[in-house]
Structure 1
Amino acid sequence: MRLTLDDGWTATVEGRPLRVAPRFDFADQRVRVATYADVEERERFLTDTFGSGPWLWDTPDELRFDVRSRELLGAEFQLPSRVVDAEDSARLPPTPTARPGGLLADEARDFRLEVTAELCRAPGDTALTCLRDLDVLDRPLEARVGIARDVALLIQDGTVVGWSLTDPATSLTTGFAAPDPAPATPATRLLFTACMDLVTTPLLDRVKDRDPDALTGLRALDHALREQSEDRHRADALHALIAGLVEDYADRPGGPKP
């Protein structure tokens, strides 16, 4: 199968998917599928590969390929800030299921992969699906290409129209660190959904407006994450964002921040 991305750039589904596990940096709202472990390694990775990547103030999603073999080496995706309502999310087709496959760039040149605009949350946040636009839901998907464990590109009429992360709670981590290889605990999954509710619904606006009830809920979530005795790596990943909101809005007196 040949896939078209932005700028008319194409790649062929060929070979094996990436072997590295996805890393969901919750504080940064990014999913990374790459082996670099810090900023310096990431910069070298970008220098030594080609594809879609940051340039000055432009920060598109990233697919990076080996210069010689043209095989996919890594990916980085940003979660959209706009969340699809439950009725529209229910329209997301369950088929076709993801089939694993690597990508081979048809030519070794840079391109731009526009970030997605719409976020669909599955019940219980068992999957997060990010779409180019809501028009994608009006027609069936042609394929889901699993470029890594739990990460798939959504294909419609030969064009990449989004991506998905299955079992996002298990992929939770901080920064560039690899996630815990063990599955997320039930308690972590509940806390993950509570955190997603906070950052993807009008509740976040109420927090920023310092609504008393919203701040009470924020402090309760902060306390629950601090007190969780198991799955600490993932709890810390969630807490990195929640603690910042507490510091900015719940611990400071005064009206809403500008």
Structure 2
Amino acid sequence: MTARLGFDGSWSAAVTGEPLDLVPRLIGMSLIVSPYTDRVERERFFADTFGSQDWLWDLPEVFRFAPGGRRLVGAEFRIPEEAASAEDSGRVPDMPGVRPGGLQADEVKDFRHEVCTVLCRAPGDAVLTCLRDLDVLDEPLEARIGIAPDVALLVQHGTVVGWSITDPARYLTAGFAAPDPAPPVPATRRLLTECLDLVTVVPVVDGLVDGEPAALARLQSTDRDLREQREDRHRADALLELIATYVEDYGNR
């Protein structure tokens, strides 16, 4: 059983039995598992905690700990911009299962943990798994530590090598708002997959950049479907934000 996790920079934390009681928020290509509700609260939260954080153009994974007790109190992750092939995504192991747990830092000290570089998408995007690199798939995982509802850290040789979010469509939101507590409608799940294709599948992205008619038509169709969707508007608006830059840059060609 994994009792301690290693992070970049020889930094480490013990696994506790208390995961975060926070609802994840999937905002664009970022997954937020933190208590703040606006930018001012975010700045205050970072000032009152320690750990790994973003700074100007440096965007590592974010893990924030409370100085008193050294417990994990928040995290932020970036979804990689490039999706793995279906073949590689199919190599993501189902085991071991998720073990709920929190983290307690070994010491009050800042560190930097590098972002993942590869996105592995399960069928229907039921699970998004983000890995340090594809070499992780060459060996078994040692553990999955569920630090929050549907959010797990992936562990190999005692080191955090990735993370995953189960049922990402459920946690779609815009701004700092909490996700809609109602489950997503089927159209939202389908359009999440379409949006992720548009922004992470290299041939599709290249087609948009090169002005290929089929790729542009696909982008325009997705944008139109999201704008016309009446149910689950909050999540539809979140997906519109996800593809907004692509629509602005390529949608009117």
Structure 2 residue 247 is the aligned partner of structure 1 residue 246: yes
SS of the aligned residue for 1:173 comes to coil
Aligned residues: CA RMSD: 1.1
Equivalent residue, structure 2, for 1:140: 140
Structure 2 residue 230 is the aligned partner of structure 1 residue 229: yes
Q: For 1:198 and 1:246, how far apart are their aligned partners in 2?
A: 10
TM-score (structure 1 length as normaliser) = 0.94
- Number of residue pairs the alignment of both structures matches: 250
Q: For 1:119 and 1:219, how far apart are their aligned partners in 2?
A: 24
Q: For 1:124 and 1:107, how far apart are their aligned partners in 2?
A: 41
Encode CA deviations 1:81-118: one digit per residue, 9 max, x unaligned.
12111111111110011111010111110011100111
SS of the aligned residue for 1:76 comes to strand
Q: For 1:153 and 1:241, how far apart are their aligned partners in 2?
A: 24
Contact conserved, 2:207 with 2:215, CA < 8 A, in 1?
Answer: yes
Contact conserved, 1:210 with 1:250, CA < 8 A, in 2?
Answer: no
Equivalent residue, structure 1, for 2:165: 165
SS of the aligned residue for 1:213 comes to helix
Structure 2 residue 74 is the aligned partner of structure 1 residue 74: yes
Match of 2:23 among 10, 21, 24: 21
Equivalent residue, structure 1, for 2:4: 2
Describe how 1:176-195 pairs up with structure 2 within 5 A: 176-195=176-195
Q: For 2:34 and 2:90, how far apart are their aligned partners in 1?
A: 31
Equivalent residue, structure 2, for 1:256: none
Q: For 2:242 and 2:90, how far apart are their aligned partners in 1?
A: 28
Equivalent residue, structure 2, for 1:207: 208
Q: For 1:2 and 1:241, how far apart are their aligned partners in 2?
A: 35
Equivalent residue, structure 1, for 2:100: 100
Contact conserved, 2:9 with 2:112, CA < 8 A, in 1?
Answer: yes
Q: For 1:130 and 1:246, how far apart are their aligned partners in 2?
A: 25
Q: CA deviation at 1:203?
A: 1.1
Equivalent residue, structure 2, for 1:114: 114
Q: CA deviation at 1:40?
A: 1.2
Contact conserved, 1:67 with 1:108, CA < 8 A, in 2?
Answer: yes
Equivalent residue, structure 2, for 1:130: 130
Contact conserved, 2:27 with 2:175, CA < 8 A, in 1?
Answer: yes
Q: For 1:213 and 1:39, how far apart are their aligned partners in 2?
A: 39
SS of the aligned residue for 1:128 comes to strand
Query: Which stretches in structure 2 are left out of the alignment for 5+ residues?
Result: none
Contact conserved, 2:17 with 2:102, CA < 8 A, in 1?
Answer: yes
Q: CA deviation at 1:21?
A: 0.8
Q: For 1:184 and 1:49, how far apart are their aligned partners in 2?
A: 34
Encode CA deviations 1:176-199: one digit per residue, 9 max, x unaligned.
211111111111101111111111
Encode CA deviations 1:62-85: one digit per residue, 9 max, x unaligned.
000001110000000001112111
Contact conserved, 2:118 with 2:130, CA < 8 A, in 1?
Answer: yes
Contact conserved, 1:70 with 1:105, CA < 8 A, in 2?
Answer: yes
Q: For 1:9 and 1:155, how far apart are their aligned partners in 2?
A: 14
SS of the aligned residue for 1:114 comes to coil
Q: Label 1:56 to 1:198 Cα distance change in 2 as closer, same or farther (>3 A).
A: closer
Q: Which moved more, 1:48-57 or 1:228-237?
A: 48-57
Q: Label 1:244 to 1:134 Cα distance change in 2 as closer, same or farther (>3 A).
A: closer
Query: Which stretches in structure 1 are left out of the alignment for 5+ residues?
Result: 254-258
TM-score (structure 2 length as normaliser) = 0.96
Q: For 2:230 and 2:177, how far apart are their aligned partners in 1?
A: 20
* Runs of 4+ off more than 4 Å: none
Q: CA deviation at 1:245?
A: 2.0
SS of the aligned residue for 1:3 comes to strand
